[in-house]
Structure 1
Amino acid sequence: MDRLKRAISLLPWAGTTTEDHDSKKTNNSNFGQIQTVATAKSNNNNRNLEDQISHEKLFRLLGKRAQTIKTCFEILKGREENSSILELGTSRSFSNGSINTEHFNPDIEAWDWGAGCFTAVIKLLLPDCSLTSVDPNEKAVKVSKRLLKNIGHEASYVQKNSTDFLNVTNESYDLIYMDHAESGDSDACALLHRNDVAIILSRKLLKPNGLILIDDIQTPFNKGMYSVPLLKECGFNQLSKSSYQALLRKG
């Protein structure tokens, strides 16, 4: 705990946010607004589509993220109570390879699997989980809602930046997925992630044996550059090896 306090006290960016370096995850004026929660309503008419999407197909679509997501699924599916999951950075494009927020394609294989599609994937794998997805970008929230509607699921959406949300939430989570902001050509995103991890630890937002999953660590300025060492210093074990994502659990 002394190490954690010391790490937090040394964070010069504590309590601040950083601008994203990619247009697909752009911070905006909504950062300062009061928390608003919108819910994507279930559409029972789309259950037939969900029934056609096997776990095997999902993991194939996930590609380089398949093993870490599968490990999360294997750990969480055996818990007695339904899992509570927090996603920082929602799904934000209708198609792979470009930022498409306008033209929805119902063909699930055409979705933005290059970015992971975590919002839809976790609800298909753990349909009874409680999912909260946080993102300051209004267009991204609309995209994510439409994807969930197409598979007949729902989530709670908070249009707010990650740091502000983490500072006010009173919930605790079985899994926190960190895919917010973009690496760009500097370490600004990695600094934001470490700041947010420090808040998560100091406010005890992770349940006992909870998981933290950090995306995009195999990039020149990876998102876990500073947060993964901090988590390890505070007693977390890294469950993933040579993976595109870092999956950690308190030892």
Structure 2
Amino acid sequence: MTTTILEPAPGLRGVTGEPWAGVQYFSTWRVGGVSTAPRDSLNLGAHVGDDPAAVRENRQRLRRALPGAPFWLEQVHGTDVCDADAPPDGSGRPGGLPRADAAVTVRRDRPLVIMTADCLPVVLADEAGSVLGVAHAGWRGLAAGVLESTLDAMRRRAPQARHWRAWIGPGIGPQAFQVGPEVRAAFLDRDPGFDRFFAAEVKRADGARWLADLAGLAHARLQQAGVARVEDSGECTWARADRYFSHRRDLGSGRQATLAWLT
């Protein structure tokens, strides 16, 4: 596990992982923007009640760190994958954003983006850097197969691609992610061995809870799908209020972004 702190643009900070031939990628921190509390300061989410002018300015600051315009999605906790290279098909909501929780591309310098505030952002590519995918993996999408759907779409776009690799970006850590029995069942129904990612039961007045290792579940699902090399950032959004927005920690939280592009 390697986490590198970087400054993708003046005033902005973020994290990335190990060097990756043909791929650039990073997750933003919450600092370096103009939004005010409780979304201070680099909130990139336009759907969380922030001042639209502040979000526009924050996105413009992010844009200066990128080789092209970011490809935004309307994320809905599903498994649909958008081909970022295809002409728009009109399936997005007003505003033109595709409704999907993953995107793929084979074009160079086309930044794909996933927004999160506890869910996992996952970057996927082959070792040769010929095809790229990003996915939004909260527990619902992860259990339903968003990572497998992303890989399927990547294999269709680049049938020659081999030797898959993934980076799991900042998300809520296993010490903070309490889940109910329906979440545990959603994963154990697929593989009873996934019980190892759920810590001892937490007793609460409103029912039983388990501490879930979301990144561990994502890692296991990726390996089952044929991804040999998986790196985890190890960054917990809930624990690091100085770096990340967290929906579970802060009501009305902003959103950070994970960006990736082929070079």
Q: TM-score, normalised by structure 1?
A: 0.38
Higher strand share: 2
More helix by share: 1
TM-score for both structures, normalised by structure 2: 0.37
